[in-house]
């Protein structure tokens, strides 16, 4: 068992860290103020990151991606947690691995442009009536001569306004869900109202409305009926990286601020860091961040070995998102009034952190999955010797 980082891994982490510090963090305040990212700035960070080979690191090299292993991807994703959602999307790309199901003509039409960053591809599963119960969708795709006709409404779709296309789940039979590649601009497809969120300023979230949208046969991603399984397996890796690793990164970022402030800020003639109640908050944060990080890396290692990591990914989703929320809450507490004041980014981190426990499967749903797996498989999920 080797917990050390190789020289290549250190170099990779250093490059991503430096890029985030120098190119992305300086843009955060303006994005927060405007709830938008300036298009020129977005283009500039994309071009710079691409020239450094940092775009779509998770995707295979044969399609133009970075070809990183799951473990190496998570090391980078942890760094991504040091900046804001929209900047990660623009600079590094949230390219969904479900696109790897593209075959034939689909590869040049949807996969390669997403990996290169020429086109942004969102994913749309959630509906007003089907969130946690993702199998209960009402959107339908009916097979007709010359393709499919799509009808239905999705909501809460991240980055919908900037996306050029979407992976959409739709019912293709009474008990059959399939995935489709749907381009913006098709007749009958509208990006609906913007749904304003508590945090994640700069990233748009919208309804998508499909009203008799005609799709070519090539729009079907994977086999008919394989959509739900494919969507869930895609979300597995998404949960590990976008939630697990980024939560660890964001919590580390907050902890760094806490320790610096506790060493500098004086009350009662002493630095805050000398008060044991403050020390407890710092110590608990250190312990919890490290436990979550090790879980992220263990689950990533399982993916690299081709092992079934679903139970572990659920554990990571719960642990990392809840650790982040506790650490940010302590961060606000250690900063006192400054933690609540908009002159510091902590109140933003506090709002941004809350969604980690909700999207891509709530904590409750993942606890259900963990308990069911433990009850079914016995010690396999919690005993290394099994």
> Is residue 183 within 8 Å of residue 165, measured between CB atoms?
yes
Which residue lies nearest ligand FAD, judged by its C-beta?
Answer: 131
Should residue 297 be labelled a site residue for ligand FAD when binding is judged by CB under 6 A? no
**Integer Cα distance of 187 and 278 in angstroms:** 58
- From candidates 156, 189, 210, 335, binder to ligand FAD by CB under 6 A: 156
Should residue 355 be labelled a site residue for ligand FAD when binding is judged by CB under 6 A? yes
Nearer of residues 56 and 200 to ligand FAD, judged by Cβ? 200
Polymer length of the chain: 386
Nearer of residues 155 and 253 to ligand FAD, judged by Cβ? 155
Q: Can you tell me which residue has the tokens 């990392």?
A: 320
Nearer of residues 131 and 271 to ligand FAD, judged by Cβ? 131
- From candidates 226, 286, 368, 374, binder to ligand FAD by CB under 6 A: 368
Cβ neighbourhood burial of 71 (10 Å; 0-12, 13-18, 19+): middle
Stretch that binds ligand FAD, among 91-99, 155-163, 186-194, 305-313 (CB under 6 A): 155-163
Least distance to ligand FAD from the beta carbon of 9, Å? Answer: 30
How many positions of this chain bind ligand FAD (CB under 6 A)?
22
Q: In Å, what is the CA distance from 94 to each residue of 85, 101, 137, 186, 337?
A: 10, 16, 24, 23, 35
Should residue 191 be labelled a site residue for ligand FAD when binding is judged by CB under 6 A? no
Least distance to ligand FAD from the beta carbon of 160, Å? Answer: 8
Nearer of residues 211 and 364 to ligand FAD, judged by Cβ? 364
Cβ neighbourhood burial of 2 (10 Å; 0-12, 13-18, 19+): exposed
Should residue 201 be labelled a site residue for ligand FAD when binding is judged by CB under 6 A? no
Binding mask 203-242 for ligand FAD (x = CB under 6 A): --x-------------------------------------
Which residues of this chain interact with ligand FAD, rule CB under 6 A?
Answer: 122-126, 131-132, 156-158, 197, 200, 205, 355, 358-362, 364-365, 368
């Amino acid at each position: 068992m080797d917990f050390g980082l190789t020289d290549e891994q250190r170099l990779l982490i250093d490059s991503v860290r430096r890029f985030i510090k120098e190119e992305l963090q300086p843009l955060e305040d303006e994005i927060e103020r405007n709830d938008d990212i300036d298009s020129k700035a977005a283009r500039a960070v994309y071009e710079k990151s691409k020239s450094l080979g940092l775009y779509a690191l998770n995707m295979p090299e044969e399609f133009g991606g970075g070809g990183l292993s799951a473990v190496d991807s998570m090391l980078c994703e942890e760094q991504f947690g040091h900046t804001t959602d929209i900047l990660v999307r623009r600079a590094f790309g949230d390219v969904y691995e479900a696109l790897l199901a593209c075959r034939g003509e689909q590869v040049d039409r949807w996969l390669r442009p997403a990996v290169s960053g020429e086109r942004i591809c969102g994913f749309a599963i959630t509906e007003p009536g089907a969130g946690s119960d993702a199998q209960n969708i009402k959107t339908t795709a009916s097979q007709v001569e010359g393709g499919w006709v799509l009808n239905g409404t999705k909501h809460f779709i991240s980055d919908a306004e900037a996306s050029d296309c979407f992976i959409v789940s739709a019912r293709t039979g009474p008990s059959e869900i399939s995935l489709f590649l749907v381009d913006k601009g098709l007749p009958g497809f509208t990006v609906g109202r913007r749904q304003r969120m508590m945090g994640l300023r700069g990233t748009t979230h919208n309804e998508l409305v499909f009203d008799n949208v005609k799709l070519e046969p090539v729009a079907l991603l994977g086999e008919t009926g394989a959509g739900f399984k494919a969507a869930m397996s895609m979300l597995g890796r998404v949960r590990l990286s976008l939630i697990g690793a980024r939560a660890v990164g964001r919590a580390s970022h907050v902890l760094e601020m806490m320790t610096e402030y506790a060493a500098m800020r004086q009350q009662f003639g002493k630095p805050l860091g000398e008060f044991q109640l403050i020390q407890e908050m710092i110590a608990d944060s250190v312990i919890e961040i490290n436990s979550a990080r090790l879980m992220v890396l263990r689950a990533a290692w399982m993916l690299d070995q081709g092992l079934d990591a679903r139970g572990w990914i659920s554990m990571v989703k719960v642990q990392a998102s809840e650790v982040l929320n506790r650490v940010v809450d302590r961060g606000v507490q250690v900063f006192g009034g400054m933690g609540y004041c908009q002159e510091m980014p902590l109140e933003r981190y506090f709002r941004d952190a809350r969604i980690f426990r909700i999207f891509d499967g709530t904590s409750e749903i993942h606890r259900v999955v963990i308990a069911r797996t433990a009850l079914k498989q016995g010690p396999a999920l919690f005993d290394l010797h099994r």
